[in-house]
Amino acid sequence: MKKLVLRSMLAVIVAVFASSCGASHTGYMVNSASLSAANFSYVKQNVTGKATATYVFGIGGMAKETLVNTAKQKMLENYPLKSNQTLANITVNFKKSLYYFVAFGTVECTVTADIVEFNK
């Protein structure tokens, strides 16, 4: 009987630790370049940059604005803008993940945009 109770308790503990994670997704679209006239062409679509912050017991990581700025800078490092080019259709998405009873968590920020070039 004692072994059955111990095994049951062990099974419950393993199940709790194995299933104690969750994730949520949020995002928004930023007002960007005005594309109301047909004076531009798409150079590249859906370019992305990512930044991640890690938290242990809610301590650590970066502020939301810092994550967005870091993700945008990484995007521009991979896809530098040339003359007459700008970012359009910018979206910012966050994925928040929590693990092990909120003891450990991550926040991932992804910035996505299109690069357009205006005609001269």
pTM for the structure as a whole = 0.73
pLDDT tens digits for 71-105?
999 999 999 999 989 999 899 999 988 776 667 88
Cα–Cα distance, 19 to 36 (Å, whole number) = 49
| Partners of 26 in beta bridges | 94
Is 90 part of any domain? yes
Is 16 part of any domain? no
User: What's the structural domain count of the chain?
Assistant: 1
Q: What is the pLDDT of residue 22?
A: 63
Is 7 part of any domain? no
Tell me what the pLDDT averaged over the chain comes to: 83
For residue 98, give the nearest of 51, 61, 56, 59 by alpha carbon.
56
> The domain containing residue 85 runs over which residues?
22-118
Is 96 part of any domain? yes
Q: List the beta strands (DSSP E) in 31-103.
A: 40-56, 85-99
Positive or negative torsion for Cα 8, 14, 15, 16? positive
Is 4 part of any domain? no
The length of the chain is 120
Evaluate if residue 70 carries a pLDDT over 90: yes
Is 5 part of any domain? no
